[in-house]
């Protein structure tokens, strides 16, 4: 049974499509990832691609970048039917893609990453000075001259790595630039700079396909919208200015959803202290005091690079503190020991889930159970059926898509990978749950599910600490908020007693009285 024809805006006269994709189908064993997708993109526009996690967005852009070959359908480029046989062929036509999870090489310099695969050479010799000069010019074009071309990419912040990835895309003669969640690791000023760069590119005739779950960004940067649901196009060519947000949510989810946070409990948090941090200092932060009671959600707000992630990672033992103590349930944890933290009941969902939180080539069930294997051991052997059963139960409760716990977690969308990380700590039954950007790359429907899950865990007595770059999320979800600026806590108080503008004043070097 097929879906009804997608809602579609008729292209304006004289505006021919740079790219047309018609009836694109892509199958994997047991899964129909794309069941007939249509998309047309015009030169000089920002075309926003929306859909829930698992809707087929990532698969579609991998078809467009020739990482996957479609099983059916047609791709028309500049008016001519074409077959994109390899990623090099796609780049040769002018199609460049920046994926949500960046594919940079940490051990290479900024310049080497920018020109990787199309090095500047002459007569068999590398022209390093010219490459460095061109890399510097590209970084300046992106408004980031402070990034040094000779630095190793692995030493850069996630935000700076995002800029390097953009510079690499622009090092080709790009006609169509695909940006998959480009703002996920950027602070507000960097997002504004990103939008400036995108507008400059479209004024030069470059087309941009922009994928984001932040609907407010679509309003700021987009021209037209295509919406995918369950691997099919349900609307295409919608004008951003003429399409209400409520209609976009209905198209994405098939139902009306209010972007709402679960209600806070009426009682005050006079329960036992579960997590107690005193005078903690480490890389990028100093003298942090933090107390979290059973059933309480504490949010850390601040800019990217302010030290929020480093605080969580140090509490978890992944980083070694220079001074201070971390205690759980009245017992001090060993400094710089993940084993000590996990044994005490601490779990961490890291910001960079692929590089820090997942075993990408392992099955979903093993990623869920990896921190709880002892509970499935019998006489020194793992009970694989019980391990799978527990993982399947959690995967169903979190609506991990597509269903099935034997597929490699690498094949899931970013939002579903995040659910797998959460499932791991749910199985572990943590006392303290540290969540670093828990809804990064997660669609509007799944966000509501994750918010309700976090509140449910708190209601069951878990002490939760949430880091988010979205001030609205911190204020809406947390009971108490700490504002972090340049490694120091500059404000602490109930979430109901501070608003978004005050938080922004605090993080942007405003008055801290």
Together in a domain, 461 and 326: yes
Q: What is the pLDDT of residue 1?
A: 38
Give the residue-averaged pLDDT of 300-308.
86
Q: What is the pLDDT of residue 469?
A: 81
Domain of 248 in residue numbering reads as 7-94+174-253
Find out whether 209 and 41 touch, Cβ atoms under 8 Å: yes
Together in a domain, 42 and 154: no
Specify the CATH number for the domain of residue 278.
Answer: 3.40.50.300
Strand-pairing partners, residue 97, are: 178
* Alpha carbons 462 and 509: distance in angstroms, whole number: 33
What are 129-167's pLDDT values in tens digits?
Answer: 999 999 999 998 887 889 999 999 999 987 788 889 889
Instruction: Compute the chain's Rg from CA coordinates.
Output: 24
Together in a domain, 196 and 70: yes
- DSSP conformation class of 83: -
Three-state secondary-structure class, residue 258: coil
Strand-pairing partners, residue 332, are: 327
Q: What is the pLDDT of residue 183?
A: 81
Together in a domain, 380 and 243: no
Together in a domain, 238 and 191: yes
Is 287 part of any domain?
A: yes
CB atoms < 10 A from the CB of 381, how many?
A: 8
Q: What is the pLDDT of residue 380?
A: 82
233 or 101, higher pLDDT: 233
Is 100 part of any domain?
A: no
* Alpha carbons 105 and 168: distance in angstroms, whole number: 12
Q: What is the pLDDT of residue 2?
A: 40
The reported pTM is 0.64
Say if residue 398's pLDDT is above 70. Answer: yes
Q: Give the confidence band of 378 by pLDDT, cuts at 50, 70, 90.
A: confident
Together in a domain, 368 and 390: yes
Q: What is the pLDDT of residue 259?
A: 53
Q: What is the pLDDT of residue 511?
A: 40
DSSP string of 435-491, one letter each residue:
EESTTTT--HHHHHHHHHHHHHHHHTT-EEEEE-S-HHHHHHH-SEEEEEETTEEEE
What are 269-290's pLDDT values in tens digits?
Answer: 678 999 999 999 998 999 999 9
In this predicted structure, which of 338-352, 432-446, 458-472, 475-489 has the lowest mean pLDDT? 432-446
Three-state secondary-structure class, residue 170: helix
Work out how many domains the chain is built from and give that number: 4
Say if residue 513's pLDDT is above 50. Answer: no
* Percentage of the chain modeled with pLDDT above 90: 56
Say if residue 10's pLDDT is above 60. Answer: no
Alpha helix positions (H), 142-234: 158-170, 188-203, 215-221
Say if residue 268's pLDDT is above 80. Answer: no
Together in a domain, 244 and 313: no
Together in a domain, 278 and 336: yes
156 or 414, higher pLDDT: 156
Say if residue 267's pLDDT is above 70. Answer: no
Is 286 part of any domain?
A: yes
Indicate the average pLDDT of the chain: 88
Find out whether 492 and 482 touch, Cβ atoms under 8 Å: yes
Q: Nearest Cα to 49, choosing from 191, 256, 248?
A: 248
Give the residue-averaged pLDDT of 379-394.
91
Is 296 part of any domain?
A: yes
What are 462-501's pLDDT values in tens digits?
Answer: 999 999 988 888 999 999 999 999 899 999 999 999 988 7
Give the residue-averaged pLDDT of 72-92.
94
Strand-pairing partners, residue 125, are: 122
Say if residue 11's pLDDT is above 50. Answer: no
Q: Which of 253, 280, 295 is the last residue of a domain?
A: 253
Q: What is the pLDDT of residue 333?
A: 97
Together in a domain, 85 and 224: yes
Dihedral of alpha carbons 305, 307, 312, 317, sign: positive
Say if residue 353's pLDDT is above 70. Answer: yes
DSSP string of 340-400, one letter each residue:
HHHHTTEEEE-SSIIIII--TTSBHHHHHHGGGGGGGEETTEE-HHHHHHHHHHHHHHTT-
Q: Which of 172, 197, 213 is the last residue of a domain?
A: 172
Q: Which of 381, 399, 428 is the last residue of a domain?
A: 428
* Alpha carbons 208 and 25: distance in angstroms, whole number: 23
Say if residue 43's pLDDT is above 50. Answer: yes
Together in a domain, 374 and 332: no
Is 227 part of any domain?
A: yes
* Alpha carbons 240 and 248: distance in angstroms, whole number: 10
Strands 377-378, 381-382: pairing is antiparallel
Q: What is the pLDDT of residue 202?
A: 92
In this predicted structure, which of 9-13, 210-214, 301-305, 443-447 has the lowest mean pLDDT? 9-13
Say if residue 512's pLDDT is above 50. Answer: no
Q: Give the confidence band of 510 by pLDDT, cuts at 50, 70, 90.
A: very low
Together in a domain, 469 and 399: no
Is 263 part of any domain?
A: no
Q: What is the pLDDT of residue 401?
A: 81
* Percentage of the chain modeled with pLDDT above 70: 93
Say if residue 256's pLDDT is above 80. Answer: no
Is 103 part of any domain?
A: no
473 or 316, higher pLDDT: 316
Is 506 part of any domain?
A: yes
Q: What is the pLDDT of residue 411?
A: 85
Q: What is the pLDDT of residue 257?
A: 55
* Alpha carbons 421 and 58: distance in angstroms, whole number: 19
Say if residue 349's pLDDT is above 50. Answer: yes
Together in a domain, 178 and 90: yes
Q: What is the pLDDT of residue 170?
A: 86
Find out whether 468 and 441 touch, Cβ atoms under 8 Å: no
């Amino acid at each position: 049974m097929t879906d009804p024809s997608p809602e579609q805006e008729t292209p304006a006269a004289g505006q021919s499509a740079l790219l047309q994709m018609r009836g694109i189908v892509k199958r994997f064993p047991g899964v129909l990832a794309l069941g007939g997708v249509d998309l047309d993109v015009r030169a000089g526009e920002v075309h926003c691609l929306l859909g829930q996690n698992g809707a087929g967005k990532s698969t579609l852009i991998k078809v467009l970048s020739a990482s996957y070959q479609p099983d059916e359908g047609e791709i028309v480029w500049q008016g001519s039917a074409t077959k994109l046989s390899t990623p090099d062929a796609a780049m040769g036509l002018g199609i460049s893609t920046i994926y949500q999870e960046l594919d940079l090489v940490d051990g290479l310099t900024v310049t080497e990453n920018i020109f990787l695969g199309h090095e500047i050479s002459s007569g068999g010799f590398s022209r390093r000075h010219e490459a460095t000069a061109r890399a510097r010019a590209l970084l300046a074009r992106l408004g980031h001259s402070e990034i040094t071309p000779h630095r190793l990419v692995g030493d850069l912040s996630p935000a700076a790595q995002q800029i390097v990835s953009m510079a690499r895309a622009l090092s080709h003669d790009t006609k169509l630039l695909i940006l998959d969640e480009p703002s996920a690791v950027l602070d507000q000023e960097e997002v504004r700079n990103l939008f400036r760069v995108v507008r400059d590119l479209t004024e030069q005739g470059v087309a941009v396909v922009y994928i984001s779950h932040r609907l407010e960004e679509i309003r700021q940067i987009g021209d037209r919208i295509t919406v995918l649901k369950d691997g099919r196009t349900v609307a295409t060519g919608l004008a951003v200015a003429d399409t209400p947000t409520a209609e976009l949510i209905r198209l994405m989810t098939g139902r009306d959803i209010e972007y709402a946070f679960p209600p806070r409990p009426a009682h005050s948090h006079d329960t036992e202290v579960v997590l107690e941090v005193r005078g903690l200092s480490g890389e990028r932060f100093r003298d942090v005091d933090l107390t979290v009671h059973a059933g309480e959600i504490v949010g850390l707000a601040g800019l990217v690079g302010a030290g929020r992630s480093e605080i969580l990672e140090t509490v978890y033992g992944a980083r070694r503190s220079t001074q201070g103590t971390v205690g759980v349930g009245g017992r001090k944890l060993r400094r710089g020991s993940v084993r000590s933290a996990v044994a005490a009941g601490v779990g961490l969902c890291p910001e960079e889930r692929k590089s820090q939180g997942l075993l990408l080539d392992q099955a979903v069930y093993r990623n869920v159970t990896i921190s709880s294997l002892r509970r499935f051991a019998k006489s020194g052997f793992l009970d694989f059926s019980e391990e799978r059963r527990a993982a399947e139960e959690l995967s169903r409760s979190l609506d991990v898509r597509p269903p099935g716990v034997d597929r490699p977690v690498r094949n899931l969308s970013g939002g579903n990978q995040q659910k797998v990380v959460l499932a791991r700590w749910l199985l572990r039954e943590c006392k303290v749950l540290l969540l670093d950007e828990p809804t990064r790359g997660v669609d509007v429907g799944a966000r509501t599910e994750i918010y309700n899950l976090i509140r449910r865990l708190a209601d069951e007595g878990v002490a939760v600490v949430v880091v988010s770059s979205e001030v609205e999320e911190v204020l809406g979800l947390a009971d108490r908020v700490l504002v972090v600026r340049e490694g120091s806590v500059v404000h602490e108080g109930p979430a109901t007693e501070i608003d978004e503008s005050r938080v922004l004043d605090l993080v942007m070097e405003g008055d801290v009285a």
